Structure 1
Amino acid sequence: MKQLVLELAKLRRELILYNPSDRSFEPSARALGLVYSDGMWAGPPGLRELKLRERVRLERYAEVLNDLDRLGLHSPILIDMNDAIASQNDEFPCLQYNRKPGSENAILWPLRRVHSAESMEFCHAIDPAEPDLQSKRPVVFWRGLPRGFSSLDGKRTNIRSVITAYWSGEIDREVLLAHLRCTPRYAFVSQFFGRPGFDVGFTLERGVEFYKEVPDIARYLTRYAKHHKQVEFKYLISIEGTDVGTSLGWQLSTNCVLLKQDYPWEVFFEGSIRPWEHYVPVARDFADLEEKVQWCESNTEACLKMIDGRHQVVRFLTNDDAQTKTFRQVIQQYNAFYAAWAGHSRSEAPPTLAIAAQNEVFRQSGGRFRQLITAAINLFPRRDTSTAQHVAHETALPFEAEQPHVPVDSPAIEPETEFHELQNFSRRVPRLQFRTVFDVGANIGQSAQMFRRLWPDAQIYAFEPVSTTLTRLRSKFKDEPAVHCFGLALGDEQRRVTIESEPMRKMNRIRPNGARPGRRTEEVDLQTGDAFCRSLGIDTIDFLKIDAEGFDLKICKGFEQMLLAQRIAALQIEVGLQYEDPVHLPLHDFLSYLHPLGYRLFKIHNQYIRTDRPMARRGNAVFLSLAQVKENGTERIEDASRR
């Protein structure tokens, strides 16, 4: 198989061959190393010190490898998680997160941090509070980065390198404009910026602030708009960037009319949406955009039907259990393919699986989306072929409003670094039995899922006050009797409070001075941790995790009676590591409060370093009660390790 890697590495910028039987992979020259320990893949020591681009590449591969291990891969497989992978006709299937038509043997696979519930850019629960279509402003809205590839003279050139060359004086404005006009996003913005019925423009990210000094970019810069502001407009549009339009995932969940440029890229879920059934297609050069908008204005019922159709797709995409089963089916198909291929000589072409057999697999898994989730040519034909259209028709099943629950053998992938940090913490306190775990600020259950894996015998109490988020939390754990979900907020008193409740946000906050103007709010019950524990007869908490976006100290004070009695063994709190942090309270505040109560700092992990300057921003501080410090002292740990 190493020979195969060396052959195919010539065709790609970066490629790894993963062999799960011995937990090894053969990287191409540009691929960086990963570390396998404690049953998980992660980046090497010093990961946070790497450049952002290198760090993102490593994290992508670690997430994919952990997915494959979890889903039962037992055959060697090629993986290439780069952006904008050009068309290939490889002999052997390869996992990719994007592909273009004509890419034979490209199996689509999600990027965990982009295509999952934890991402702001992916589908989310349908927001019942979002304005309906008729209440929205009849305007086409778009915000995005000036990125993509120029197609000047038939060559693909990253537009960032062109802008950088102009800024540094290597090329003149005429060359710059020639490239920009061949870039879809620039062509769109330059054509519709400032036009009636359009609110479009560029925003910038860190690292490209110098774009402001390029007049042909600067003239189109405009204000950034968060998702809850964008849905005030009737029309959202998805436009090609480096490859796919990243915003497409969350746009599916809105009550807006979705306009989609006819770009050639696709990711794993795009086979489940179709023009005129879920979105309105727009020509690649946007020549028919105004005509399509006029059609929508005259066909409201058809637009509402498209929105309802998208929402059915979203309900499936946000069903974690169904997603897990879907990808397990893909891996089972691949294992079968590899087993058949391994019996052939290298000079022979890989065998093609029988379409009839594959159709049966997808009928069993239930749904057109599952049938189209991957399109390796040796698994079944590409989306753009007539045969594929026939197969899609033969295997299409109607979406259901509520997908049946599918048992899951393993939890979804949690951040490897935090998992390992808490795993190491558990080893350092061998006398501590993790039977009762509190997750305050549970969101949709990312941490609760990790705790379930770390401490399978624990009873987990998850607190999430926002109703829409609580619904997703309860859905995720509806068949997990050891996970108890509560729709209330914890604090230092008992009363009703107002919380900012943006379903599209990962973080919702209780603000001491009330919600900010224009924010969506919700009235929720606030209760102290002490009162809650008394009501359920909970005497001790083995691990208390608090992540409440600046409300953390008040939550601690609500547990003061239990803290004084040393009935909370350990706490993990998200703290600010600089005094000027506008959201997270500084570590000093928690040290000052907890130290007199008999708690000592164990460690700070998951530190976030600012990308614009070398400064720590925030981290998770773990505190241990003095009783546990004495119980798990050095001598006892050494004795435990010898045993």
Structure 2
Amino acid sequence: MATILRNSVKVFYYARNALRDVAPQALFRRRLAARLGQAMLPDETIRARLKFYNKLRSAFVPSPDAVPVSRLPFSPSMYYYDLKEFARYFDPGLLIDLEFGDVRKVPKMPSVVKDRPITADNSNAVIMKLDKFRHFHMPADRLSFADKRPAVVWRGHLNNPIRTRFLEAVRDLPFCDAGTPNKKAAEQYRKPYLTIAQHKQYRYIVSLEGNDVATNLKWIMSSNSLCLMPPPTYETWFAESRLEANVHYASLERDFSDLSEKVQYFERHPAEAQRIISAANAYCRTFADERAEQAISLLVLYKYFVLSGQIEPDAEVWRYISG
């Protein structure tokens, strides 16, 4: 049933965005001023998140590789639709430098991306909420922590050495159900595929980065299971660098030598596990306000176009952004 519902939502996602593409785009551009007015929400966290996603402060000139709004690359399609949802409000000739897919390094030019490395100087990577259908799927969890299986679970592809290191570290731990469903992986690492709902039957779910961020992090933190992971090294719209170890998730050493100790501790202190789970759930609710999500997305692009010298800023909107 969950798969049927998910597929139905996916069909609606594509249908809605396809209709937006065939509609006269001038209709959206005429609404830009009104949308910007609506985006200036009084909540100070809006501006704080805007400044986090778009850290640019100085003027710049788009590179020769920049593409106009009217010709954003269509592949991958979800990246295209998620960016075009807000880019269509701007002049089709405005130029954007962008990098779709998994971004492992900070771009040399200010560019719109889905993710960026967590470093002190990553301001050239301007984050938008891209591929959100996949990354921001956070289904409800009706099973309490106490009623879950007192064990650890992980499934994923072995596309990062840390994942293989994890499987080696937990191979002989009887309370760990960890492996990869990839049939091409070494036999000792293979385990059957598990759905999200099956993962959430366990009290402890491990989140490990792959090509960049860990895709499962959002739905783990929105569940009633405890997220176990090493500190993140990449961030997306989810602002992974703002997650606090042992506040929003239970921190693990990068060699996983403390996994047994952590699980034993939380089995003896379930209230501590629940405290972290509650904080994680509250953090996830930050992204549930669709009005705020749309406002920030529009303002991130507006700031990009202003600093790239392509549009003259509205004084009131610019005061709001820079205030």
TM-score (norm 1): 0.36
Alignment-derived partner of residue 525 in structure 1: none
Q: Are 1:145 and 2:203 an aligned pair?
A: no
Name the aligned partner's letter for residue 222 of structure 1.
Answer: K
1 CA distance for matches of 2:247 and 2:88?
35
Contact 2:67 2:96 in 1 (8 A): yes
Q: Deviation at 1:24?
A: 4.1
Contact residue 139 and residue 233 of structure 1 kept, 8 A: yes
- Percent of pairs identical after alignment? 23
CA distance in 2, matches of 1:292, 1:340: 52
Distance 2:204 2:100 in 1: 31
SS in 2 for 1:5: coil
- C-alpha spacing 1:58/1:283, structure 2 compared with 1 (3 Å): same
Instruction: Please point out which of 271, 283, 293 is paired with 1:313.
Output: 283
1:401 is aligned to: none
The one-letter code sitting in structure 2 at the alignment partner of 1:79 is L
Q: Give the partner amino acid of 1:62.
A: Y
Q: Does 1:132 align with 2:144?
A: yes
1:188 aligns with 2:157: no
Q: Please say if residues 122 and 247 of structure 1, whose CA atoms lie closer than 8 Å, have aligned partners that are also in contact.
A: no
**Equivalent residue, structure 1, for 2:210:** 241
Alpha-carbon distance, 1:285 to partner: 2.3
Equivalences for residues 377-456 of structure 1 within 5 A: none
Match of 1:259 in 2: 228
Q: Find the aligned partners of 1:341 and 1:325 in 2 and give their Cα distance.
A: 18
CA contact (8 A) 1:123 1:252 kept: no
Q: Distance in 1 between matches of 2:208 and 2:322?
A: 31
Retained in 2: the 8 A contact 1:71–1:327?
A: no
Residue 63 of structure 1 pairs with residue 63 of structure 2? no
Provide the C-alpha distance between the structure 2 equivalents of 1:307 and 1:191, rounded to a whole number of angstroms.
25
Give matches, 1:569-588, under 5 Å.
Answer: none
Distance 1:272 1:135, change over 3 A: same
Match of 1:95 among 76, 91, 112: 112
Contact persistence 2:62–2:97 (CA under 8 A): no
- What are the superposed Cα offsets for residues 401-455 of structure 1, whole Å, 9 maximum, x if unpaired? xxxxxxxxxxxxxxxxxxxxxxxxxxxxxxxxxxxxxxxxxxxxxxxxxxxxxxx
CA distance 1:298–1:361, shift in 2 (3 Å): farther
For 2:228 and 2:152, locate their aligned partners in 1 and report how far apart those are by CA, in whole Å: 9
Contact 1:87 1:103 in 2 (8 A): yes
- Cα gap change, 1:309/1:243 in structure 2, threshold over 3 Å: closer, same or farther? same
Distance 1:17 1:313 in 2: 35
Q: Distance in 1 between matches of 2:88 and 2:261?
A: 48
1:201-350 matches, cutoff 5 A: 201-204=179-182, 209=183, 211=184, 217-269=186-238, 270-271=240-241, 273-339=243-309
What residue identity is the alignment partner of 1:17? A
Matched residues in 2 for 1:64 and 1:203: separation?
29
Which of 177, 186, 191 is the aligned partner of 1:199?
Answer: 177
Residues 1:122 and 2:136 are matched in the alignment: yes
Deviations 1:177-234 (A, max 9, x none): xxxxxx1111101221241221111112xxxx4x15xxxx122111111111111111
- Give 2:127's aligned amino acid: L
Q: Partners of 1:312 and 1:321 in 2: how far apart?
A: 18
Match of 2:144, as an amino acid? D
Partner residue in 2 for 1:17 = 66
The 1:313–1:125 alpha-carbon spacing in structure 2 relative to 1, beyond 3 Å, is: farther
CA contact (8 A) 2:169 2:257 kept: no
- For 1:76 and 1:245, locate their aligned partners in 2 and report how far apart those are by CA, in whole Å: 30
2:112 is aligned with what amino acid?
L
- Relative distance call for 1:320 and 1:59 in structure 2 (3 A) is same
In structure 2, runs of 5+ residues without a counterpart are: 1-60, 313-317
Structure 1 equivalent of residue 44 of structure 2: none
Structure 2 CA distance, aligned partners of 1:336 and 1:302? 46
CA contact (8 A) 1:237 1:261 kept: no
User: What's the secondary structure of 1:234's corresponding residue?
Assistant: strand
Name the CA shift for 1:324/1:226 in 2 (closer, same or farther; >3 Å).
Answer: same
Q: CA deviation at 1:322?
A: 2.3
The question of whether the paired residues in 2 share the 8 Å contact of 1:71 and 1:331 is answered with no
Q: Which residue of 1 aligns with 2:97?
A: 78
Return closer, same or farther for 1:140/1:253 CA change in 2, 3 Å cut-off: same
Q: How many angstroms apart in 1 are the aligned matches of 2:149 and 2:79?
A: 42
Letter of the aligned partner of 1:232 in structure 2?
A: Q
Residue 292 (structure 1) shift: 2.5
Number of the residue aligned with 1:382: none
Cα offset for 1:340? Answer: 8.7
* Alpha carbons of structure 1 residues 18 and 67: separation in structure 2 relative to 1, 3 Å: farther
How far is the alpha carbon of 1:324 from its aligned partner?
Answer: 1.0
In structure 2, C-alpha distance between the alignment counterparts of 1:231 and 1:362, rounded to whole Å: 42
| Deviation (angstroms), 1:73 | 7.0
- Asked if 2 retains the 8 angstrom alpha-carbon contact of 1:108 and 1:267, the reply is yes
Aligned mates of 1:239, 1:272 — CA distance in 2: 17
Q: Which structure has greater helix proportion?
A: 2
Show CA shifts across 1:299-345 (max 9, x none). 32232122122222323323333211121121232233223999xxx
- Please state how far the C-alpha of 1:71 moved relative to its aligned partner: 5.1
Residues 190 and 73 (structure 1), Cα distance of their counterparts in 2 relative to 1, 3 Å cut = farther
* Distance (whole Å) between structure 2 residues aligned to residue 298 and residue 84 of structure 1: 40
How has the CA–CA distance of structure 1 residues 362 and 200 changed in structure 2, closer, same or farther, with 3 Å as cutoff?
farther
1:235 Cα deviation (Å)?
A: 0.4
Task: Answer 1 or 2: which has greater strand percent.
Answer: 1
Aligned residue in 1 for 2:124: 105
**Aligned equivalents of 2:90, 2:284: Cα separation in 1:** 26
Q: Is the 8 A contact 2:103 2:116 kept in 1?
A: yes
- Offset at 1:296? 2.3
**Distance in 2 between the 1:246 and 1:227 partners?**
12
Distance 1:313 1:293, change over 3 A: same
